[in-house]
Structure 1
C-alpha cells in the first residue's frame, strides 16, 4: 500500500504565552503532488512549513516525512534529514554573493558528502535544465531576480530531495519573473517532483499547484483539489 510522503497529524505549536501558531493541524501529501498552503500573515503557514522542514518541533502531534518522524529528531539529525530529504527555496534567494552561481549550487552537495566531480556534474546538469548554464561563473549580484531564484531552485534540487519546499518563492520578484518561476515549479512537478508552496498569493497557488490547503489562525479550514 502506498504511504504518504508527508503526514502531519494533530500538530500544535505555541510560542511563549500567545495564541497557538498552529492548533491541531493535519496534512497529508502524496508523492508527486503539488500543494499550496495558503493563508494571511499569522495564519500558521510558515510554522507548518518549519515543522515539515525539521526547523521547529510541534508541542503536540506528529510530523512524518518520507518515513522519518521529523518531530523526534535532534538538531544534528534534523540537519542530516534536510540535506537528504528536503530542498528549500526562499523568498529572498539566500544565495552567497561571494560564491559563483555554480559554487552556490555545488555547496549543499559537498556538505552532504558528494564527491566534488559528481557535485560539479550535477550542478552543471541542473543549470542547463533550468536555462541558466551561461551564468555558471557569474556571481548572484549580476543576475536578475528571476535568474537568482532559478539558481536557488537548482541549489535546492542538487541532492535530489524527496520534497521541494518553496516559501513565498515569487514574493521578491516582478510580475514577469514571478510567472517564470511559477512555470518552472509547474514543470518540475510535471516531471514528478513533490512540491509544497507556502504563500498568501492565490494566483501563484493556482498557477503552479493542483491543491490548496487554507490556514486561518493556526487551523486548517479548507483542503481543495482543483
Structure 2
C-alpha cells in the first residue's frame, strides 16, 4: 500500500439487527500499517461485530469498511471468501484447528485454498513453524499439544499467506496463565517485526503487553481511543 494509506479505514459505520439498539453506531476508525490495536469493552459493546465487519463476515447497515485498499462491504460472497484467504489472517479463542490433520497440514490449508504451489507452501510453512518455535511438532496432531502450542499453530496458519492484517478474537481467552503469557509475547514480537494486528480482548494484560493503541467500545460507540503510536517497523 502507499505510505500513510491506512490498512483499515472504517467510515461512519452503523450495524443494526431488527428493532434492537445498534450493535455499532456511527463508528469511524483508521488503523495504519504496523499498529497493534486492542479493542476493549464489556460484553455487548460491539467488539465482535466490529471484528466481523473487518473480516467481511458481516456487512454494515450504513457506512463503509475498507481494508488494504479493498471495499470489504461491497464484496460478493465469493469475493469475501477470497479476501479472507489473501488479505487477512484470523486467530480465534478456541484455535479452530482440524484435529485429524497434522500441524503442518493445518498450517498449509490457507495456501492450498489460495492456490500456492505445493513446494512454495511447504517451504513457507516450515519457516513459520521454525520462527514460531513449534517446528518440533510439525508432524504431531493438535490434540497432543498444549493450549499455547495450539495457538502458535493457529497463528502460523493465519500468517501463511502473508496477510496485510492479522485479526485475533480473544486469543488468550481459552489459555492458562503460562500459555497466555506465551501468546502475549508472540503477538508482541510479531508486531515489533511490522505485522499489523487488531485484537478483541477482555485481557488487559494482553492489551498492555502487545498493543500500541487501545480503542474502547461501549454500547456500540467508541468512547476512548489512545491514538496512534509510531510503529517499531513497517511492513
Is TM-score (shorter-chain normalized) higher than 0.5? yes
Whether contact under 8 Å (2:23, 2:46) holds in the other structure is: yes
Number of equivalent positions: 226
Matching residue of 1:204: 206
1:151 pairs with 150, 153, 170, which one?
A: 153
Q: Deviations over 1:57-90 (max 9, x none)?
A: 0000010001000010010000011111000000
Secondary structure of the equivalent of 1:46?
Answer: helix
**TM-superposed deviation, 1:16:** 2.1
TM-score by length of 1: 0.98
TM-score by length of 2: 0.95
- Distance (Å, rounded) in 2 between the aligned partners of 1:80 and 1:201: 31
**TM-superposed deviation, 1:108:** 0.6
Query: Any unmatched runs of 5+ in structure 2?
Result: 230-235
2:194 pairs with 185, 192, 195, which one?
A: 192
- Distance (Å, rounded) in 2 between the aligned partners of 1:128 and 1:12: 42
1:164 pairs with 160, 163, 166, which one?
A: 166
- Distance (Å, rounded) in 2 between the aligned partners of 1:174 and 1:190: 24
Provide the alpha-carbon RMSD of the alignment: 0.9
- Distance (Å, rounded) in 1 between the aligned partners of 2:147 and 2:175: 6
Whether contact under 8 Å (2:172, 2:203) holds in the other structure is: no
Matching residue of 2:15: 13
Secondary structure of the equivalent of 1:160?
Answer: coil
Whether contact under 8 Å (2:66, 2:73) holds in the other structure is: yes
Matching residue of 1:36: 38
Query: Any unmatched runs of 5+ in structure 1?
Result: none
**TM-superposed deviation, 1:19:** 1.1
